[in-house]
Amino acid sequence: MHSIRFIPGVAMLLFLAGCSGIPHPAIQTELEACPQQTAVAIAAEQNQLSFLTASHTLVCAINTLQKSHDLAIQRTALGSRLCLTLAEREPNQDKREKFAAEGVKFAEIALEQGGQGDGAVHYYLAANLGLKVRDHIVLAMGSLDRLENEMKQAVALSPDIDDGGPLRLLGALYLKAPAWPKGIGDLDKALELLKQAVDQYPNHPLNHLFYAQALWEEGDQTSLSQAKAEFVLGEKLLAEGDWGYNKQPWGTEFNEFAQEHAEIASPIK
C-alpha cells in the first residue's frame, strides 16, 4: 500500500463550492501602485502572465478579475490559473491556502457559467483544491473521488495543458493515494499515465520526477535503473530551463525524493 505524501498540486482534494452571486474578497497583500487595467485587457494579454511574472503583478490582475461581471471571462480558467501560480510559490501555509481557495472559487464560478467543456477549468480547480487541503489529511481523504473525476475530465478535454499537467497530476494521484479498499491508489495506472506524460511532453521536469517515483515504487532492477535515468533528466531540465519562480519549489521536490531514496542520485551503472 502506498503511503500518503502530499506534494504541490497533487494532494487529495476537498470539494469547495463557489457561488457567482457572492463577491470575491480582495486578496490581502501589497497592492500599492497597481496599474489601471480592465479584466478584458488582462484576458487579452493573459499569455504574458506566467510563472515568470512577479507576484505583485499577478495579485493586481486577480483583484481586477474578482470585480469583473463579464461572463465570457468568468467562464474561463484565467483567474484560477493565476491563483495557482501564486499559491505554488507561496511558502507561508495560510497565504498559500488563501490563494488556492480563491482559485477554487474562480473555477467553480467558471463551471457555473458554462465552462464545463474547458479542460483547463477542471485542471486548475483540482490543482488549487489540492493545495488548499494539502496539510489537512482528514479533509483530503474524503476527496479522492472528486479529485479523480476533475483530473479525468482535464485529461479527456485538454491533456496538453501545462506540458501534460492533467496526465502528470492524475498519474501522481494514483501513485500517492492509498490503494483499495481505503483509496484509489493504483501503481499500474500511475505508470501508464506518467509514461504517457514523459513520452508526449518530455521537456517538463516534473513529468520525469513523477515517473521516476512511480518506477522506483515498482521496485524491480530494470525499473530502478530507469528511475535513476528519469530523475537525472528531470534535474537537468530543471537546472537548464527558465522556470522562473517555480524553480525553487520544484527543486525542493527533487531534493526531498533524493534524500528519501539516496540511491536515486547515485551514478547510473
Q: Among 85, 84, 37, which residue's Cα sits nearest to residue 61?
A: 37
Q: Taking 80 as the threshold, does the pLDDT of residue 141 lie above it?
A: no
Residue with cell string 502528470? 168
The reported pLDDT for the residue numbered 224 is: 93
pTM equals 0.85
What's the pLDDT at 165?
96
Mean pLDDT of 110-115: 96
How far apart are alpha carbons 225 and 229 in whole angstroms? 7
Mean pLDDT of 46-56: 95
What are the residue boundaries of the structural domains of the chain, listed by start?
Answer: 1-157
Q: How many CA atoms within 13 Å lie on the side-chain side of 127?
A: 29
| pLDDT per residue as tens digits for the range 143-161 | 788 889 999 999 999 999 9
220-265 confidence digits (pLDDT tens):
889 999 999 999 999 999 999 999 999 999 999 999 999 998 888 7
